[in-house]
Structure 1
Amino acid sequence: MIDYSGWRHAFKLDPDKQIEEEWLERICESGTDAIIVGGTLGVTYDNTLALMARIRRFAVPAVLEVSTLEAIVPGFDAYFIPLVLNAGDPDWILQPHVAGLRRFAAYIHWEQIFAEGYLILNPDSAAARLTAARPVADAEEARAYARVASKLCRLPIFYVEYSGRYGDPQMVAACKAGVEEGRLFYGGGITTPEQAREMAAIADTIVVGNLVYEDPEAALATVAAVKG
């Protein structure tokens, strides 16, 4: 079973985006703790399988964050299953999971499955629009969501998602205060080593995604900033 309890840094790669072989190799061998494969739009079985096959040439743990049932590919070390806690469309909280279990329950290795309580805090992101994410008024509300995930639902991961925009450290700190059990992941808008260090000082694990495609050299620098 994969152990994410010591992860400090992860890269997220989108199957719908292109990355050159040289940069993929450098990303996978950078010293990051894991590669998370996932995206909001344009994720298919074929492009997920193709990306997994390329990542599998390296020793880094590979995790699929499931965003669509059509792109569930066997062969990953683990599968992260998001529950969007502030989804305005309730179908995004549990209905996809019920549908998935109806189709795939007989094939699931439960020791590879980890649920994530997702809190989407960038209302302009594709994920927020897709799920009709409810706005979070302030830090106290953010902490309450974290407590729901940690204490009521007993979710092992609480994921603060700013998706393309650098987040408010006070909001992230409030979420950390609410996660009394489990692990806090942060993702969104990290573009510099300084931002990586700032969020890593609050969250248990930071996730760097878009920067891989915008400035891969800068993305690599975030690993040393967090783990150096």
Structure 2
Amino acid sequence: MTLKDLIKPWRHVFKLDPEKEIHDETLDRVCMSGTDAIMVGGSTGVTYENTVDLLSRVRRYELPCVQEVSDLEAVVPGFDLYMVPVVLNTSDTTWILDRHREGIERYGYMIPWDLVVAEGYIVLNPEATVAKLTKAECSLSEEAVAAYAQIADKLMYLPVVYLEYSGVFGDMETVKRVRRSIEDAQLFYGGGITTAEQAAQAASAADTVIVGNIVYDNLDHALATVKAVKG
């Protein structure tokens, strides 16, 4: 089975931030919700220690647990997959090549390449922490976003295109346009989902829906997104 085969069935994924506190009862309900996977990651405040702690707690449940790598100091062995973002809409090569080169220089001899999935990230909320951190150019036309997606899909052969609105609910017409423009890559959508209705809209536009912050703000609403996405 290839990595693409492993992630292809994923329709709904909960993304948990190691920096944020989550009680055992909440984590139990999240992991037993019927979601397809747990993604562990965040833009800031991610450490080796808080990542290890969260991984060890999620490991009690029988569902895939993947790490989205955002800090080289916080890469933890034991995840099922390692998702590595490549931010496409930035002019700062730090987030396209430099951090990746640094990571391979330091850890190349121990990288489990058969577990690494590259994500073509397109960041679209200028107020988001990730946008400011990566200096992403977010004021893009639908056509430009679709073009970036095709770069990931057709030129770079990346298995995942990730539209990241991080904190706001995105433009579903843009998401649909991107989905029509790519053929092989799997389209992940993340950002601003706070209701089952929004989750359903995102599910109709993207292949995989990532639900994050609402877990910490309104657990019942977060859990309702699973059924809304998966039916």
- Cα deviation for residue 150 of structure 1 reads 0.1
> Is it true that 1:201 corresponds to 2:204 in the alignment?
yes
What is the distance in 2 between the residues matched to 1:26 and 1:105? 37
- Contact 1:157/1:185 (CA < 8 Å) preserved in 2? yes
Which of residues 204, 211, 226 in structure 2 aligns to 1:223? 226
What is the distance in 2 between the residues matched to 1:188 and 1:221? 16
What is the distance in 2 between the residues matched to 1:88 and 1:139? 19
- Equivalent runs, 1:78-227 vs 2, <5 Å: 78-227=81-230
- Contact 1:136/1:142 (CA < 8 Å) preserved in 2? no
Instruction: State which drifts further: 172-181 or 23-32.
Output: 172-181
How big is each residue's C-alpha offset from its partner over 1:14-61, in whole Å with a ceiling of 9 and x where there is no partner? 000011110101101111000000000100000001100110011110
> Is it true that 1:27 corresponds to 2:30 in the alignment?
yes
**Structure 1 gap segments, 5+ residues each:** none
What is the distance in 2 between the residues matched to 1:153 and 1:36? 23
- Cα deviation for residue 147 of structure 1 reads 0.4
- Cα deviation for residue 180 of structure 1 reads 1.4
What is the distance in 2 between the residues matched to 1:18 and 1:206? 23
Q: TM-score, structure 1 length as denominator? A: 0.98
What is the distance in 2 between the residues matched to 1:5 and 1:26? 24
Work out the percentage of aligned pairs sharing the same amino acid: 53
What is the distance in 1 between the residues matched to 2:172 and 2:217? 23
Which of residues 60, 70, 80 in structure 2 aligns to 1:67? 70
**Structure 2 gap segments, 5+ residues each:** none
- Cα deviation for residue 170 of structure 1 reads 1.1
What is the distance in 1 between the residues matched to 2:65 and 2:7? 11
Show the counterpart of 1:37: 40
What is the distance in 2 between the residues matched to 1:224 and 1:202? 16
Runs of 4+ off more than 6 Å = none
Partner amino acid, structure 2, of 1:88: S
Q: Secondary structure at the match of 1:198?
A: helix
> Is it true that 1:10 corresponds to 2:20 in the alignment?
no
Partner amino acid, structure 2, of 1:90: T
What is the distance in 1 between the residues matched to 2:137 and 2:93? 11
Partner amino acid, structure 2, of 1:216: L
- Cα deviation for residue 178 of structure 1 reads 2.0
How many pairs were matched up?
A: 228
How big is each residue's C-alpha offset from its partner over 1:52-91, in whole Å with a ceiling of 9 and x where there is no partner? 0110011110000000100000000000000000123221
What is the distance in 2 between the residues matched to 1:109 and 1:66? 13
